[in-house]
Chain A
Amino acid sequence: MSENPTSSQVAEVAIIGAGPSGLTAATRLTKAGLKPVVFDLNAAPGGQVYRQVESPQADLRVTGIDYRLGQRVVEAFRRARVDYRPDSRVWWVQRVDAGFELGVLHEGRSAVWRARRLILCHGAMERPFPFPGWQLPGVMTAGAAQILLKQGGLLPEDAPILVGSGPLIYLLGWQYLQAGHPPTCILDLTPRLQWRLPLRQPGKAWHARGYLFKGLKMMLALKRAGVAIERDIEALEAIGDKVLEQIRYRQRGHWKQRPASLLLSHVGVMPETHLTRSLGLTHRWHAEQQSFLPVRDDTLSADENLWVVGDGAAIGGAVNAMREGTLSALEVIASYHGLTKKERHERDGLRRERARDLCARQLLDAMFLPSLNIDAMPEETIICRCEALTRGDLDQAISDGAEGPNQLKAFTRCGMGPCQGRQCSLNATLLLSRRLAQTPDQIGQWQIRPPVQTITLGELATSSMVENRVT
Protein backbone atom coordinates (compact mmCIF):
# COMPACT_ATOMS: atom_id res chain seq x y z
CA MET A 1 0.00 0.00 0.00
CA SER A 2 2.88 2.39 0.51
CA GLU A 3 3.96 3.97 -2.69
CA ASN A 4 7.58 4.28 -1.74
CA PRO A 5 8.80 1.33 0.29
CA THR A 6 12.45 2.32 -0.03
CA SER A 7 11.82 5.34 2.17
CA SER A 8 11.11 3.28 5.27
CA GLN A 9 13.65 1.61 7.51
CA VAL A 10 14.11 -2.07 7.04
CA ALA A 11 14.56 -4.85 9.56
CA GLU A 12 15.45 -8.42 8.69
CA VAL A 13 13.39 -9.58 11.62
CA ALA A 14 11.25 -7.36 13.80
CA ILE A 15 10.49 -8.39 17.36
CA ILE A 16 7.77 -6.67 19.32
CA GLY A 17 8.33 -6.88 23.05
CA ALA A 18 11.44 -7.20 25.23
CA GLY A 19 10.13 -9.58 27.86
CA PRO A 20 11.44 -13.14 28.33
CA SER A 21 10.44 -14.36 24.86
CA GLY A 22 11.56 -11.27 22.95
CA LEU A 23 14.92 -11.24 24.71
CA THR A 24 15.74 -14.88 24.03
CA ALA A 25 14.50 -14.65 20.43
CA ALA A 26 16.69 -11.61 19.73
CA THR A 27 19.71 -13.06 21.49
CA ARG A 28 19.46 -16.36 19.63
CA LEU A 29 18.97 -14.69 16.24
CA THR A 30 21.98 -12.46 16.81
CA LYS A 31 24.09 -15.46 17.78
CA ALA A 32 23.21 -16.94 14.37
CA GLY A 33 24.40 -13.78 12.62
CA LEU A 34 20.98 -12.25 11.93
CA LYS A 35 20.10 -8.66 12.80
CA PRO A 36 16.77 -8.43 14.56
CA VAL A 37 15.29 -5.11 15.68
CA VAL A 38 13.48 -5.18 19.02
CA PHE A 39 10.74 -2.64 19.76
CA ASP A 40 9.47 -2.35 23.31
CA LEU A 41 6.91 -0.17 25.03
CA ASN A 42 8.94 -0.08 28.24
CA ALA A 43 12.06 1.89 29.00
CA ALA A 44 14.17 -1.12 30.03
CA PRO A 45 14.33 -4.79 29.04
CA GLY A 46 12.65 -7.53 31.06
CA GLY A 47 8.97 -7.20 30.33
CA GLN A 48 6.47 -7.21 33.17
CA VAL A 49 7.91 -10.26 34.92
CA TYR A 50 11.52 -9.02 34.96
CA ARG A 51 10.77 -5.34 35.20
CA GLN A 52 13.63 -3.28 36.60
CA VAL A 53 15.84 -6.34 36.70
CA GLU A 54 18.95 -4.39 35.71
CA SER A 55 18.74 -1.99 38.64
CA PRO A 56 16.58 -3.76 41.19
CA GLN A 57 14.74 -1.49 43.57
CA ALA A 58 13.73 -4.28 45.87
CA ASP A 59 15.90 -6.91 47.51
CA LEU A 60 15.91 -10.31 45.79
CA ARG A 61 14.88 -11.73 49.17
CA VAL A 62 11.60 -9.89 48.61
CA THR A 63 11.04 -10.41 44.90
CA GLY A 64 12.08 -14.05 44.90
CA ILE A 65 14.75 -16.22 43.35
CA ASP A 66 13.24 -16.30 39.83
CA TYR A 67 14.35 -12.74 39.33
CA ARG A 68 17.92 -13.98 38.94
CA LEU A 69 16.97 -15.95 35.86
CA GLY A 70 15.69 -12.70 34.39
CA GLN A 71 18.99 -11.00 35.13
CA ARG A 72 20.86 -13.67 33.21
CA VAL A 73 18.56 -13.35 30.20
CA VAL A 74 18.87 -9.58 30.13
CA GLU A 75 22.65 -9.78 30.48
CA ALA A 76 22.87 -12.18 27.54
CA PHE A 77 20.65 -9.84 25.53
CA ARG A 78 22.85 -6.84 26.37
CA ARG A 79 25.99 -8.76 25.44
CA ALA A 80 24.47 -9.67 22.06
CA ARG A 81 24.30 -5.92 21.20
CA VAL A 82 20.91 -6.20 19.58
CA ASP A 83 19.34 -3.22 17.78
CA TYR A 84 17.06 -2.54 20.74
CA ARG A 85 14.54 0.30 20.75
CA PRO A 86 12.97 0.90 24.13
CA ASP A 87 10.18 3.44 24.68
CA SER A 88 8.87 2.54 21.25
CA ARG A 89 5.17 2.16 20.70
CA VAL A 90 4.27 0.01 17.76
CA TRP A 91 0.96 1.65 16.94
CA TRP A 92 0.47 0.23 13.48
CA VAL A 93 1.09 -3.25 12.10
CA GLN A 94 -0.05 -4.35 8.73
CA ARG A 95 0.83 -7.18 6.43
CA VAL A 96 2.40 -5.93 3.22
CA ASP A 97 3.13 -8.48 0.53
CA ALA A 98 5.09 -11.23 2.26
CA GLY A 99 6.26 -9.02 5.11
CA PHE A 100 5.02 -6.39 7.50
CA GLU A 101 4.74 -2.65 7.83
CA LEU A 102 5.14 -1.22 11.31
CA GLY A 103 4.40 2.27 12.53
CA VAL A 104 6.68 2.96 15.51
CA LEU A 105 6.31 5.97 17.75
CA HIS A 106 9.37 7.09 19.67
CA GLU A 107 9.75 10.42 21.50
CA GLY A 108 6.83 11.95 19.66
CA ARG A 109 7.98 10.92 16.20
CA SER A 110 6.61 8.09 14.17
CA ALA A 111 8.64 6.08 11.71
CA VAL A 112 7.71 3.39 9.27
CA TRP A 113 9.56 0.12 9.41
CA ARG A 114 9.44 -2.77 6.99
CA ALA A 115 10.18 -6.26 8.19
CA ARG A 116 10.25 -9.45 6.22
CA ARG A 117 9.69 -11.53 9.35
CA LEU A 118 7.90 -10.66 12.54
CA ILE A 119 8.00 -12.28 15.98
CA LEU A 120 5.31 -11.08 18.35
CA CYS A 121 6.46 -11.25 21.97
CA HIS A 122 4.02 -8.72 23.37
CA GLY A 123 3.02 -10.70 26.43
CA ALA A 124 -0.03 -11.02 28.58
CA MET A 125 -2.38 -8.85 30.56
CA GLU A 126 -4.32 -9.51 33.70
CA ARG A 127 -7.78 -10.82 33.08
CA PRO A 128 -10.24 -7.98 33.65
CA PHE A 129 -12.22 -8.78 36.78
CA PRO A 130 -15.35 -6.66 37.06
CA PHE A 131 -17.29 -6.45 40.31
CA PRO A 132 -19.37 -3.59 41.70
CA GLY A 133 -17.02 -0.78 42.64
CA TRP A 134 -13.91 -2.05 40.84
CA GLN A 135 -13.58 1.40 39.25
CA LEU A 136 -13.00 3.05 42.65
CA PRO A 137 -9.57 4.47 43.44
CA GLY A 138 -8.12 2.05 45.96
CA VAL A 139 -8.89 -0.96 43.79
CA MET A 140 -5.90 -2.03 41.74
CA THR A 141 -4.71 -5.27 40.26
CA ALA A 142 -2.18 -7.44 42.04
CA GLY A 143 -0.04 -7.14 38.92
CA ALA A 144 -0.02 -3.36 39.29
CA ALA A 145 1.10 -3.71 42.91
CA GLN A 146 3.90 -6.00 41.82
CA ILE A 147 5.01 -3.49 39.22
CA LEU A 148 5.21 -0.83 41.93
CA LEU A 149 7.28 -3.19 44.04
CA LYS A 150 9.71 -3.96 41.22
CA GLN A 151 9.87 -0.49 39.75
CA GLY A 152 10.45 1.47 42.89
CA GLY A 153 10.42 -0.87 45.87
CA LEU A 154 7.00 0.52 46.74
CA LEU A 155 4.75 -1.12 49.31
CA PRO A 156 1.25 -0.16 50.43
CA GLU A 157 1.37 2.08 53.49
CA ASP A 158 -1.55 0.26 55.09
CA ALA A 159 -1.91 -3.49 54.80
CA PRO A 160 -4.01 -4.31 51.75
CA ILE A 161 -6.60 -7.01 51.13
CA LEU A 162 -5.79 -9.42 48.31
CA VAL A 163 -8.60 -11.03 46.37
CA GLY A 164 -8.75 -13.45 43.50
CA SER A 165 -7.48 -16.67 42.15
CA GLY A 166 -4.20 -17.88 40.78
CA PRO A 167 -0.59 -18.02 41.92
CA LEU A 168 0.11 -14.30 41.68
CA ILE A 169 -2.14 -13.54 44.66
CA TYR A 170 -0.03 -15.76 46.91
CA LEU A 171 3.23 -14.63 45.36
CA LEU A 172 2.38 -10.99 46.04
CA GLY A 173 1.19 -11.79 49.55
CA TRP A 174 4.42 -13.66 50.19
CA GLN A 175 6.52 -10.81 48.76
CA TYR A 176 4.79 -8.34 51.08
CA LEU A 177 5.39 -10.73 53.94
CA GLN A 178 9.09 -10.96 53.07
CA ALA A 179 9.24 -7.18 53.11
CA GLY A 180 7.74 -7.22 56.60
CA HIS A 181 4.34 -5.88 55.57
CA PRO A 182 1.94 -8.77 55.12
CA PRO A 183 -1.60 -8.23 53.79
CA THR A 184 -4.52 -8.26 56.24
CA CYS A 185 -6.23 -11.11 54.46
CA ILE A 186 -6.51 -13.04 51.25
CA LEU A 187 -9.93 -13.74 49.78
CA ASP A 188 -9.40 -16.78 47.61
CA LEU A 189 -11.95 -17.10 44.81
CA THR A 190 -10.72 -20.49 43.63
CA PRO A 191 -13.53 -23.03 43.98
CA ARG A 192 -12.51 -25.40 46.78
CA LEU A 193 -12.94 -28.51 44.63
CA GLN A 194 -10.20 -27.39 42.29
CA TRP A 195 -7.57 -27.56 45.03
CA ARG A 196 -7.93 -31.31 44.99
CA LEU A 197 -7.12 -31.64 41.30
CA PRO A 198 -3.43 -32.57 41.80
CA LEU A 199 -4.53 -35.64 43.77
CA ARG A 200 -6.70 -36.75 40.89
CA GLN A 201 -4.09 -36.08 38.21
CA PRO A 202 -0.84 -37.35 39.77
CA GLY A 203 0.99 -37.51 36.44
CA LYS A 204 0.46 -33.86 35.71
CA ALA A 205 1.01 -33.02 39.35
CA TRP A 206 4.49 -34.59 39.12
CA HIS A 207 5.41 -32.30 36.22
CA ALA A 208 3.92 -29.36 38.09
CA ARG A 209 5.55 -30.27 41.41
CA GLY A 210 7.92 -27.30 41.31
CA TYR A 211 5.06 -24.84 40.99
CA LEU A 212 2.87 -26.68 43.47
CA PHE A 213 5.51 -26.83 46.20
CA LYS A 214 6.40 -23.21 45.71
CA GLY A 215 2.73 -22.28 46.01
CA LEU A 216 2.26 -24.43 49.07
CA LYS A 217 5.33 -22.97 50.72
CA MET A 218 4.08 -19.43 50.22
CA MET A 219 0.61 -20.28 51.45
CA LEU A 220 1.99 -21.87 54.61
CA ALA A 221 4.29 -18.94 55.27
CA LEU A 222 1.35 -16.57 55.01
CA LYS A 223 -0.78 -18.68 57.32
CA ARG A 224 2.01 -18.90 59.86
CA ALA A 225 2.34 -15.14 59.78
CA GLY A 226 -1.32 -14.87 60.70
CA VAL A 227 -2.70 -13.75 57.36
CA ALA A 228 -6.33 -14.85 57.18
CA ILE A 229 -7.05 -16.86 54.07
CA GLU A 230 -10.77 -16.85 53.37
CA ARG A 231 -12.24 -19.33 50.92
CA ASP A 232 -15.65 -20.00 49.35
CA ILE A 233 -16.12 -16.38 48.39
CA GLU A 234 -19.17 -16.12 46.13
CA ALA A 235 -19.57 -12.40 45.55
CA LEU A 236 -17.58 -9.23 46.09
CA GLU A 237 -18.25 -5.49 46.19
CA ALA A 238 -16.03 -2.47 46.68
CA ILE A 239 -17.70 0.40 48.47
CA GLY A 240 -16.68 4.00 48.93
CA ASP A 241 -17.55 7.56 48.07
CA LYS A 242 -14.43 8.96 46.45
CA VAL A 243 -12.06 6.16 47.36
CA LEU A 244 -12.42 2.60 48.57
CA GLU A 245 -13.62 2.46 52.18
CA GLN A 246 -15.15 -0.97 52.66
CA ILE A 247 -15.41 -4.28 50.94
CA ARG A 248 -18.38 -6.59 51.19
CA TYR A 249 -18.23 -10.22 50.28
CA ARG A 250 -20.50 -13.22 50.49
CA GLN A 251 -18.96 -16.31 51.99
CA ARG A 252 -20.99 -19.53 52.12
CA GLY A 253 -24.18 -17.54 51.78
CA HIS A 254 -23.38 -14.86 54.37
CA TRP A 255 -22.46 -11.27 53.58
CA LYS A 256 -19.49 -9.91 55.48
CA GLN A 257 -17.98 -6.47 55.55
CA ARG A 258 -14.46 -5.26 56.20
CA PRO A 259 -12.90 -1.83 56.16
CA ALA A 260 -10.34 -1.56 53.37
CA SER A 261 -8.07 1.12 51.96
CA LEU A 262 -6.50 -0.91 49.19
CA LEU A 263 -7.92 -3.95 47.44
CA LEU A 264 -5.58 -5.80 45.10
CA SER A 265 -7.41 -8.13 42.76
CA HIS A 266 -6.25 -10.79 40.36
CA VAL A 267 -7.95 -13.63 38.52
CA GLY A 268 -5.16 -14.81 36.29
CA VAL A 269 -3.54 -13.55 33.14
CA MET A 270 -4.43 -13.97 29.49
CA PRO A 271 -2.75 -13.13 26.19
CA GLU A 272 -3.08 -9.51 25.14
CA THR A 273 -4.63 -10.15 21.73
CA HIS A 274 -4.76 -6.61 20.35
CA LEU A 275 -1.83 -7.08 17.97
CA THR A 276 -2.72 -10.58 16.85
CA ARG A 277 -6.36 -9.61 16.28
CA SER A 278 -5.45 -6.45 14.40
CA LEU A 279 -3.39 -8.64 12.06
CA GLY A 280 -6.55 -10.62 11.35
CA LEU A 281 -5.20 -13.89 12.77
CA THR A 282 -7.64 -16.64 13.69
CA HIS A 283 -8.28 -16.93 17.42
CA ARG A 284 -9.94 -19.80 19.23
CA TRP A 285 -11.55 -19.99 22.62
CA HIS A 286 -9.47 -22.00 25.05
CA ALA A 287 -11.74 -23.24 27.82
CA GLU A 288 -8.95 -24.13 30.28
CA GLN A 289 -7.29 -20.74 29.97
CA GLN A 290 -10.70 -19.03 29.63
CA SER A 291 -9.35 -16.83 26.88
CA PHE A 292 -9.00 -16.46 23.14
CA LEU A 293 -5.66 -17.64 21.80
CA PRO A 294 -4.18 -17.02 18.37
CA VAL A 295 -3.97 -20.25 16.40
CA ARG A 296 -0.37 -21.39 15.80
CA ASP A 297 1.14 -24.40 14.11
CA ASP A 298 3.83 -26.67 15.58
CA THR A 299 6.52 -24.17 14.64
CA LEU A 300 4.76 -21.42 16.68
CA SER A 301 3.92 -19.68 13.44
CA ALA A 302 0.50 -18.05 13.13
CA ASP A 303 0.86 -17.00 9.51
CA GLU A 304 3.46 -16.69 6.79
CA ASN A 305 6.66 -15.19 8.24
CA LEU A 306 4.89 -14.51 11.51
CA TRP A 307 5.53 -16.14 14.88
CA VAL A 308 3.64 -15.51 18.10
CA VAL A 309 5.43 -16.65 21.25
CA GLY A 310 5.35 -16.37 25.00
CA ASP A 311 2.40 -15.37 27.12
CA GLY A 312 1.01 -13.25 24.27
CA ALA A 313 0.14 -16.51 22.51
CA ALA A 314 -0.89 -18.74 25.43
CA ILE A 315 -0.09 -18.49 29.10
CA GLY A 316 2.91 -20.66 29.90
CA GLY A 317 4.97 -18.51 32.23
CA ALA A 318 8.36 -16.86 31.86
CA VAL A 319 10.44 -20.01 31.49
CA ASN A 320 8.20 -21.32 28.73
CA ALA A 321 8.27 -17.88 27.07
CA MET A 322 12.08 -18.02 26.96
CA ARG A 323 11.97 -21.43 25.32
CA GLU A 324 9.40 -20.26 22.80
CA GLY A 325 11.48 -17.18 22.03
CA THR A 326 14.49 -19.34 21.24
CA LEU A 327 12.32 -21.78 19.29
CA SER A 328 10.92 -18.99 17.13
CA ALA A 329 14.45 -17.73 16.51
CA LEU A 330 15.44 -21.22 15.36
CA GLU A 331 12.45 -21.29 13.01
CA VAL A 332 13.48 -17.95 11.56
CA ILE A 333 17.04 -19.22 11.16
CA ALA A 334 15.65 -22.31 9.46
CA SER A 335 13.70 -20.13 7.05
CA TYR A 336 16.94 -18.41 6.02
CA HIS A 337 19.35 -21.27 5.61
CA GLY A 338 18.05 -24.42 7.24
CA LEU A 339 19.33 -25.75 10.54
CA THR A 340 22.59 -27.45 11.32
CA LYS A 341 22.52 -30.76 13.11
CA LYS A 342 23.39 -29.01 16.34
CA GLU A 343 20.61 -26.47 15.88
CA ARG A 344 18.11 -29.22 15.13
CA HIS A 345 19.18 -30.92 18.32
CA GLU A 346 18.73 -27.69 20.25
CA ARG A 347 15.27 -27.24 18.76
CA ASP A 348 14.13 -30.77 19.51
CA GLY A 349 15.34 -30.51 23.09
CA LEU A 350 13.45 -27.25 23.62
CA ARG A 351 10.32 -28.74 22.08
CA ARG A 352 10.44 -31.67 24.48
CA GLU A 353 10.90 -29.43 27.51
CA ARG A 354 8.08 -27.23 26.31
CA ALA A 355 5.70 -30.14 25.90
CA ARG A 356 6.47 -31.36 29.41
CA ASP A 357 6.02 -27.95 30.93
CA LEU A 358 2.75 -27.31 29.11
CA CYS A 359 1.43 -30.55 30.52
CA ALA A 360 1.99 -29.16 34.01
CA ARG A 361 0.43 -25.91 32.90
CA GLN A 362 -2.83 -27.67 32.08
CA LEU A 363 -3.14 -28.69 35.70
CA LEU A 364 -2.39 -25.19 36.95
CA ASP A 365 -4.95 -23.74 34.52
CA ALA A 366 -7.57 -26.12 35.77
CA MET A 367 -6.70 -25.51 39.43
CA PHE A 368 -6.99 -21.76 39.17
CA LEU A 369 -9.84 -21.63 36.68
CA PRO A 370 -11.77 -18.59 37.82
CA SER A 371 -15.48 -19.12 38.31
CA LEU A 372 -16.65 -15.79 37.00
CA ASN A 373 -20.08 -15.54 35.54
CA ILE A 374 -20.23 -12.15 34.01
CA ASP A 375 -23.98 -12.50 33.44
CA ALA A 376 -24.53 -13.12 37.14
CA MET A 377 -22.75 -9.91 38.17
CA PRO A 378 -25.10 -7.28 39.58
CA GLU A 379 -26.63 -5.09 36.89
CA GLU A 380 -24.69 -2.00 38.02
CA THR A 381 -21.28 -3.66 37.57
CA ILE A 382 -19.22 -1.62 35.15
CA ILE A 383 -17.98 -3.73 32.25
CA CYS A 384 -16.52 -1.02 30.00
CA ARG A 385 -14.55 1.25 32.32
CA CYS A 386 -13.67 3.86 29.69
CA GLU A 387 -17.26 4.47 28.65
CA ALA A 388 -18.66 3.65 32.11
CA LEU A 389 -21.09 1.08 30.73
CA THR A 390 -22.68 -1.41 33.07
CA ARG A 391 -23.75 -4.99 32.62
CA GLY A 392 -27.31 -3.66 32.53
CA ASP A 393 -26.48 -1.23 29.71
CA LEU A 394 -25.06 -4.04 27.62
CA ASP A 395 -28.03 -6.29 28.34
CA GLN A 396 -30.40 -3.54 27.22
CA ALA A 397 -28.55 -3.27 23.89
CA ILE A 398 -28.65 -7.03 23.46
CA SER A 399 -32.40 -6.97 23.93
CA ASP A 400 -32.61 -4.11 21.40
CA GLY A 401 -31.07 -6.42 18.83
CA ALA A 402 -27.29 -6.32 19.21
CA GLU A 403 -26.65 -9.67 17.57
CA GLY A 404 -22.92 -9.86 18.12
CA PRO A 405 -19.88 -8.04 19.47
CA ASN A 406 -19.57 -5.57 16.59
CA GLN A 407 -23.21 -4.55 16.80
CA LEU A 408 -23.01 -4.41 20.61
CA LYS A 409 -20.05 -2.06 20.35
CA ALA A 410 -21.89 0.10 17.80
CA PHE A 411 -25.08 0.19 19.87
CA THR A 412 -23.43 1.14 23.18
CA ARG A 413 -19.87 2.52 22.60
CA CYS A 414 -18.59 -0.46 24.61
CA GLY A 415 -14.90 -0.75 23.71
CA MET A 416 -14.75 2.65 22.03
CA GLY A 417 -12.78 4.41 24.77
CA PRO A 418 -9.04 5.00 25.03
CA CYS A 419 -8.18 1.49 26.25
CA GLN A 420 -9.59 0.41 22.90
CA GLY A 421 -11.60 -2.41 24.38
CA ARG A 422 -8.76 -4.18 26.16
CA GLN A 423 -10.66 -4.16 29.45
CA CYS A 424 -14.12 -5.09 28.13
CA SER A 425 -13.82 -7.07 24.91
CA LEU A 426 -13.64 -10.50 26.49
CA ASN A 427 -16.42 -9.81 28.99
CA ALA A 428 -18.66 -8.40 26.24
CA THR A 429 -18.19 -11.62 24.29
CA LEU A 430 -18.82 -13.77 27.37
CA LEU A 431 -22.02 -11.86 28.17
CA LEU A 432 -23.27 -12.30 24.59
CA SER A 433 -22.31 -15.95 24.79
CA ARG A 434 -24.50 -16.48 27.86
CA ARG A 435 -27.41 -14.41 26.60
CA LEU A 436 -27.53 -15.80 23.07
CA ALA A 437 -26.65 -19.34 24.15
CA GLN A 438 -23.74 -19.61 21.77
CA THR A 439 -20.14 -20.58 22.44
CA PRO A 440 -17.52 -17.84 22.77
CA ASP A 441 -16.11 -19.06 19.44
CA GLN A 442 -19.49 -18.62 17.76
CA ILE A 443 -19.83 -15.12 19.18
CA GLY A 444 -16.25 -14.14 18.42
CA GLN A 445 -14.74 -10.79 19.36
CA TRP A 446 -15.15 -7.42 17.76
CA GLN A 447 -12.75 -6.17 15.14
CA ILE A 448 -9.66 -4.38 16.35
CA ARG A 449 -9.10 -1.04 14.70
CA PRO A 450 -5.81 0.76 14.41
CA PRO A 451 -3.99 2.39 16.11
CA VAL A 452 -3.01 -0.52 18.36
CA GLN A 453 -1.50 2.07 20.72
CA THR A 454 -2.81 5.60 20.93
CA ILE A 455 -1.01 8.30 18.94
CA THR A 456 -1.80 11.99 18.78
CA LEU A 457 -3.06 13.62 15.60
CA GLY A 458 0.05 15.79 15.61
CA GLU A 459 2.36 12.79 15.83
CA LEU A 460 0.48 11.13 13.02
CA ALA A 461 0.32 14.23 10.83
CA THR A 462 3.90 15.44 11.15
CA SER A 463 5.57 12.09 11.55
CA SER A 464 8.77 11.21 9.81
CA MET A 465 6.65 8.98 7.67
CA VAL A 466 5.62 12.06 5.76
CA GLU A 467 9.23 13.10 5.23
CA ASN A 468 10.17 9.60 4.19
CA ARG A 469 7.47 9.45 1.63
CA VAL A 470 8.25 12.63 -0.22
CA THR A 471 11.95 11.88 -0.62
Chain B
Amino acid sequence: MFRRLPETASDSAEVTLWVDGEPQQVGATLSVAAALLQQRGWAEYRLHHDGTPRAPLCMMGVCHDCLITIDGEPNRQGCLVIVKDGMRIETQMPAAQPTPGASTG
Protein backbone atom coordinates (compact mmCIF):
# COMPACT_ATOMS: atom_id res chain seq x y z
CA MET B 1 0.00 0.00 0.00
CA PHE B 2 0.94 3.60 -0.42
CA ARG B 3 -0.07 6.37 1.96
CA ARG B 4 -0.13 10.09 1.77
CA LEU B 5 2.63 12.28 3.14
CA PRO B 6 1.28 13.76 6.36
CA GLU B 7 1.80 17.42 5.43
CA THR B 8 -0.25 17.16 2.22
CA ALA B 9 -3.06 15.07 3.61
CA SER B 10 -5.06 18.02 4.87
CA ASP B 11 -4.81 20.70 2.23
CA SER B 12 -5.75 18.81 -0.89
CA ALA B 13 -9.18 18.46 -2.45
CA GLU B 14 -10.77 15.04 -2.42
CA VAL B 15 -13.30 13.29 -4.63
CA THR B 16 -15.46 10.24 -4.11
CA LEU B 17 -14.59 7.22 -6.18
CA TRP B 18 -16.74 4.09 -6.29
CA VAL B 19 -14.41 1.12 -6.28
CA ASP B 20 -16.22 -2.17 -6.86
CA GLY B 21 -19.27 -0.50 -5.39
CA GLU B 22 -17.56 0.89 -2.28
CA PRO B 23 -17.15 4.65 -1.87
CA GLN B 24 -13.57 5.86 -1.35
CA GLN B 25 -12.31 9.37 -0.66
CA VAL B 26 -9.21 10.01 -2.73
CA GLY B 27 -6.99 12.95 -3.62
CA ALA B 28 -8.25 14.85 -6.64
CA THR B 29 -4.85 14.92 -8.34
CA LEU B 30 -4.43 11.15 -8.45
CA SER B 31 -4.78 8.87 -11.41
CA VAL B 32 -7.18 5.97 -11.02
CA ALA B 33 -4.26 3.56 -10.67
CA ALA B 34 -2.59 5.75 -8.02
CA ALA B 35 -5.86 5.99 -6.08
CA LEU B 36 -6.18 2.19 -6.10
CA LEU B 37 -2.59 1.74 -4.95
CA GLN B 38 -3.30 4.08 -2.06
CA GLN B 39 -6.67 2.67 -1.06
CA ARG B 40 -6.14 -1.02 -1.68
CA GLY B 41 -2.53 -1.63 -2.60
CA TRP B 42 -1.36 -3.81 -5.43
CA ALA B 43 -2.92 -7.09 -4.35
CA GLU B 44 -6.01 -8.10 -6.37
CA TYR B 45 -5.63 -5.24 -8.79
CA ARG B 46 -6.04 -7.25 -11.99
CA LEU B 47 -5.96 -10.80 -13.27
CA HIS B 48 -3.98 -11.24 -16.49
CA HIS B 49 -5.21 -13.49 -19.30
CA ASP B 50 -2.74 -16.18 -18.26
CA GLY B 51 -4.41 -16.31 -14.84
CA THR B 52 -1.63 -14.53 -12.97
CA PRO B 53 -2.20 -11.42 -10.84
CA ARG B 54 -0.84 -8.16 -12.19
CA ALA B 55 -0.61 -4.58 -10.94
CA PRO B 56 0.71 -1.30 -12.35
CA LEU B 57 4.42 -1.36 -13.18
CA CYS B 58 5.32 1.98 -14.78
CA MET B 59 2.52 4.47 -13.98
CA MET B 60 3.30 6.43 -17.15
CA GLY B 61 1.28 4.82 -19.91
CA VAL B 62 3.86 2.36 -21.16
CA CYS B 63 3.26 -1.06 -19.61
CA HIS B 64 -0.54 -1.50 -19.77
CA ASP B 65 -0.48 -3.55 -16.60
CA CYS B 66 -2.78 -1.02 -14.90
CA LEU B 67 -5.80 -1.94 -17.05
CA ILE B 68 -9.05 -1.41 -15.18
CA THR B 69 -12.74 -0.84 -15.85
CA ILE B 70 -13.67 2.85 -15.63
CA ASP B 71 -17.33 3.88 -15.84
CA GLY B 72 -18.17 0.56 -17.45
CA GLU B 73 -15.44 0.67 -20.06
CA PRO B 74 -13.06 -2.27 -19.56
CA ASN B 75 -9.29 -2.24 -20.06
CA ARG B 76 -8.66 1.48 -19.61
CA GLN B 77 -5.16 2.59 -18.66
CA GLY B 78 -5.70 3.48 -15.03
CA CYS B 79 -2.45 5.46 -14.79
CA LEU B 80 -3.52 7.92 -17.49
CA VAL B 81 -7.01 8.75 -16.24
CA ILE B 82 -7.30 11.32 -13.44
CA VAL B 83 -10.04 10.58 -10.91
CA LYS B 84 -13.36 12.44 -11.09
CA ASP B 85 -16.03 12.74 -8.48
CA GLY B 86 -18.50 9.88 -8.78
CA MET B 87 -16.32 7.80 -11.09
CA ARG B 88 -17.11 4.08 -11.01
CA ILE B 89 -14.13 1.75 -10.98
CA GLU B 90 -14.17 -2.02 -11.23
CA THR B 91 -11.07 -4.07 -10.73
CA GLN B 92 -10.70 -6.83 -13.29
CA MET B 93 -10.63 -9.95 -11.11
CA PRO B 94 -11.17 -11.97 -13.26
CA ALA B 95 -10.91 -10.34 -16.70
CA ALA B 96 -13.96 -8.35 -17.82
CA GLN B 97 -16.59 -10.36 -19.68
CA PRO B 98 -18.13 -8.95 -22.83
CA THR B 99 -21.84 -9.43 -23.28
CA PRO B 100 -22.37 -9.89 -27.01
CA GLY B 101 -25.99 -10.97 -26.66
CA ALA B 102 -26.96 -8.04 -24.45
CA SER B 103 -25.81 -5.28 -26.73
CA THR B 104 -27.78 -6.40 -29.78
CA GLY B 105 -30.92 -4.93 -28.24
Contacts and interface: CB of A to CB of B under 8 A. Distances in A.
A438 interface: no
A243 B43 contact: yes
Interface residues of A, number: 47
Given A41-B80, A140-B59, A154 B43 contact: no
Contacts of B67: 418
Interface stretch (A144-152, A165-173, A357-365, A400-408): A144-152
A317 interface: no
Interface in B82-99: 82
A243 B47 CA distance: 12
Contacts of A148: 2, 34, 37, 59
Contacts of A62: 5
A55 B62 contact: no
Contact of B59 (A147, A179, A422, A453): A147
Interface in A104-144: 125-126, 135-141, 143-144
B42 A138 contact: yes
A454 B27 CA distance: 27
Given A152-B38, A157-B2, A57 B64 contact: no
Interface string A152-166: 111111100000000
A370 B4 CA distance: 32
Given A152-B27, A155-B2, A140 B38 contact: no
B64 A417 contact: yes
Contact of B5 (A48, A59, A388, A453): A59
A153 B8 contact: yes
Contacts of A143: 58-60
A430 to B, nearest CB: 18
B34 A272 contact: no
Contacts of B1: 156-158
Contacts of B44: 242
A152 B57 CA distance: 17
Contact of B29 (A52, A138, A419): A52
B40 to A, nearest CB: 11
Contact of B45 (A135, A137, A454): A137
Interface string B36-67: 01100111110011101111111111111101
B62 A386 contact: no
A41 B61 contact: yes
A158 B1 CA distance: 8
A227 interface: no
A43 interface: yes
Contacts of B45: 137
Nearest to A123: B60
B7 interface: yes
A385 interface: yes
B48 A388 contact: yes
A9 B35 CA distance: 36
Contacts of B4: 152-155
A423 B29 contact: no
A425 to B, nearest CB: 11
Given A137-B55, A143-B58, A242-B53, A385 B65 contact: yes
A339 interface: no
A105 B42 CA distance: 29
B31 interface: yes
A279 interface: no
Q: Which of B4, B5, B50 has the most chain A CB atoms inside 10 A of its CB?
A: B5
Interface in B1-35: 1-5, 7-9, 12, 27, 29-31, 34-35
Contacts of A453: 61
8 tightest A-B CB contacts, nearest first: A137-B55, A144-B59, A153-B8, A153-B5, A137-B42, A154-B2, A418-B64, A419-B64
Given A55-B29, A153-B27, A157-B2, 7 more contacts: A137-B55, A140-B42, A140-B59, A143-B59, A152-B35, A157-B41, A272-B62
Interface of B: 1-5, 7-9, 12, 27, 29-31, 34-35, 37-38, 41-45, 48-50, 52-65, 67, 73, 75, 77, 79-80, 82
6 contacts: A52-B29, A137-B54, A152-B8, A156-B2, A262-B42, A422-B63
